[in-house]
Amino acid sequence: MNRYKQQGFSLIELIIVIVIVAILAAFAAPGFMNTIQKVRTESAQSDLVRMLKEGKRVARSSSTTVSITLDNNVTTGSSLTLAAGSGLNRVETISSGVQFENEIAVIFSALGTVTPPDPDPMFRLVVVNDETAMKRYVDVTASGQIIAHLATFTP
């Protein structure tokens, strides 16, 4: 009679479990990467909306013009710059791998309104993810209304 009971797992059982986990991870990885890219794009859109709202608020509260500039820079990354007549300047870098479709300046008047480029009735600001070409839109109307589109558009 054998006094010793077998305890634990055999090497073959452990290898089989590792192979199964690796196969599942291989299927999950692309979906996880897409989720990361989507979050980066949404974060950049959120940063843009927040900066536009702050620019409008500063323009109205200090009765001055405020410029929000969207800038794409290869070395330092894309950024938003808030510049007010009172000398208030702030630069904020957005998520890596995300750029603006157009480098443009949105200028809020002391009343919180903007003058869109002719013949457009509004500014359409587009945040683009470099890796997936996913786009998120933000519209700024002539009255200064800021509209973030929640839908994600892909080509």
**pLDDT, tens digit (0-9, with 9 covering 90-100), for 91-137:** 888 877 888 888 888 999 999 999 887 778 888 888 888 888 888 99
Fold entry, domain 11-148: minor pseudopilin epsh fold (3.55.40)
Separation between Cα atoms, residue 146 and residue 139, nearest integer Å: 6
Please state, as a whole number, how many other Cβ atoms lie within 10 Å of the Cβ of residue 53: 13
Query: Tokens representing 90?
Result: 């702030």
Separation between Cα atoms, residue 21 and residue 103, nearest integer Å: 45
Give the per-residue pLDDT at 145. Answer: 92
Q: Is pTM beyond 0.85 here?
A: no
pLDDT at 154 over 70: no
Under a CB-based contact definition with an 8 Å cutoff, are residues 125 and 100 in contact?
yes
Separation between Cα atoms, residue 132 and residue 97, nearest integer Å: 9
Report percent pLDDT > 70 for the chain. Answer: 90
Overall average pLDDT of the 25-53 stretch: 88
Q: What is the mean pLDDT of the chain?
A: 85
Give the per-residue pLDDT at 138. Answer: 92
Separation between Cα atoms, residue 82 and residue 91, nearest integer Å: 6
pLDDT at 23 over 90: yes
Give the per-residue pLDDT at 2. Answer: 61
Least confident stretch, 3-7, 44-48, 123-127: 3-7
